[in-house]
Structures are given as structure tokens and as C-alpha cells.
């Protein structure tokens, strides 16, 4: 995903209060648009297909949560991330926001540079969720030690993650038990124990028995398949 091309939408009737943040985001993401009226926002949403929508919680006459629910009823090719924000610091408001389907809730006293990093992180997460998994049903995030399977993040124990990473990055190649033991444990004696078999079993329990193929005399391999 080209982040500079991302469509970012704000709904805020007092956008002058966050003008520095808006200007910074516009300098990075040229398709950043601010709407002041709910009707105008809703009329343009499906055409713009935004990746991120920022809603001021303190809107009138309908607050941000009411607008959020209306947005969630719209038909999008890919669901946007919706962020509610407010100058108020109230745990109840945050709970209400998340219960209503918000992807994030922030206090907009944040500095513009913080919002820059926050936005970049959300776009990165969205890219992982929609684009990698559009190409195949399995994706490994080596920075966060997560495996995305059909769009869902799964966290594995350290050695099982390393085993999946090894097989994934060498897709189609067989690895024998001695090779796996040497690469992951630096200990050839592991190959003579049941440790590797147990890890393979656990991985198959989570991802399906066909995720890792085995062949006598060759070892184990993983074949990456396109998403359905």
C-alpha cells in the first residue's frame, strides 16, 4: 500500500482546534479531507472509500457514536478503520466507543507528531489485514511475532513461531529434523527427541493438518496457498 495515497477523512465541526494536526497529515497524505456536516460526510463516503475515518465524539446534533453506527451500516469494498476522538478524558466514553465498533479512541490533546505516528501505525495494520491476506491466506509479521491466518492474528510460543517462520520463508523446501534442530536450537540432539514432532502437531492443530507437509526421508515443508 502506498501510504501517501491513503484516503483519510475527518468529521469535525471545530476543526480549527486541530488545524496543526490536519495540516501535518495533509502534508503526508494528500487525500486528507475534513467535513463539517454529517450529511456531507455520509454522502461522500462510498465514493471516497476511505482507509481511515476520524470522528469528533462531540458532534451536534448527533454525536460521534451515532455517526459511527451509521458508517458501519454502509457498504464498503474494504471496511475503513474508524477512530473516535475527544478532548474529554473519560473511561466510560472509551468503553462506549469500543462497544459501538470503534477501532480506536484517542484524546485529541495529542501533539501533531504523535498523531502522525498513530496514523501511520493504523495504516500499516490495515495494510497487513487487507492486502497481505488478499494475496494468500497466511502471512507472518516478524516484527510483532504474529501469524495472520485468513485475516486473524495468532500468537504462537517462541519456538513454534520460529519454526513457522523458517518453513514460511523457505516455502516448498523440505527441512529434516537434524536441520531444524541445528537452525532453531543449535543442538543436534533435539532431532532424536519428540520436541519437533510436538511443535508440528501443535501448529497443525491451529492451522489445519495440511499446513505442513511431511515426507519420509526428506522432512517437513510448508506450501503457501492463495486465499480463497
Query: Model confidence over 172-195: pLDDT tens digits?
Result: 899 999 999 999 999 999 999 999
pTM: 0.58
Cα separation, 153 vs 162, whole angstroms? 16
Domain(s) of CATH 1.10.10.10: residues in the chain: 138-222
Distance of alpha carbon 187 from alpha carbon 219, whole angstroms: 17
Q: C-alpha grid cell for residue 4?
A: 501517501
Average pLDDT over residues 7-14: 94
Question: Which of 138 and 54 is assigned the larger pLDDT?
Answer: 54
Class of domain 3-135: alpha beta
| H or E segment and range at residue 53 | strand 52-56
Does the domain at residues 138-222 carry the CATH identifier 1.10.10.10?
yes
Chain region(s) in the chain for CATH 3.40.50.2300:
3-135
- The pLDDT of residue 59: 93
pLDDT at 128 over 70: no
Taking the CA atoms of 182, 186, 188 and 192 in sequence, report the sign of the dihedral they define: negative
Indicate the pLDDT class of residue 133, thresholds 50, 70 and 90.
Answer: very low
The label of the residue with cell 474494504 reads 78
Amino acid at each position: 500500500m502506498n501510504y501517501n495515497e491513503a484516503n483519510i477523512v475527518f468529521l469535525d465541526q471545530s476543526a480549527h482546534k486541530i488545524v496543526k494536526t490536519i495540516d501535518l497529515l495533509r502534508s503526508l497524505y494528500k487525500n486528507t479531507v475534513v467535513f463539517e456536516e454529517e450529511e456531507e460526510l455520509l454522502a461522500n463516503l462510498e465514493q471516497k472509500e476511505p482507509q481511515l475515518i476520524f470522528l469528533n465524539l462531540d458532534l451536534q446534533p448527533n454525536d460521534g457514536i451515532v455517526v459511527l453506527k451509521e458508517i458501519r451500516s454502509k457498504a464498503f469494498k474494504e471496511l475503513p478503520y474508524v477512530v473516535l476522538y475527544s478532548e474529554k478524558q473519560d473511561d466510560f466514553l472509551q468503553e462506549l466507543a469500543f462497544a459501538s465498533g470503534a477501532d480506536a479512541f484517542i484524546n485529541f490533546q495529542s501533539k501533531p507528531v504523535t498523531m502522525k505516528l498513530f496514523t501511520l501505525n493504523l495504516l500499516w495494520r490495515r495494510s497487513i489485514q487487507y492486502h497481505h491476506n488478499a494475496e494468500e491466506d497466511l502471512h507472518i509479521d516478524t516484527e510483532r511475532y504474529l501469524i495472520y491466518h485468513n485475516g486473524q492474528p495468532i500468537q504462537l510460543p517462541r519456538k513454534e513461531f520460529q519454526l513457522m517462520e523458517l518453513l514460511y520463508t523457505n516455502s516448498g523446501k523440505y527441512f529434516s529434523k537434524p536441520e531444524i534442530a541445528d537452525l532453531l536450537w543449535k543442538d543436534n540432539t533435539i532431532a532424536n527427541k519428540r520436541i519437533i514432532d510436538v511443535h508440528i502437531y501443535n501448529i497443525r492443530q491451529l492451522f489445519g493438518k495440511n499446513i505442513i507437509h511431511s515426507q519420509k526421508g526428506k522432512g517437513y515443508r510448508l506450501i503457501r496457498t492463495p486465499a480463497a
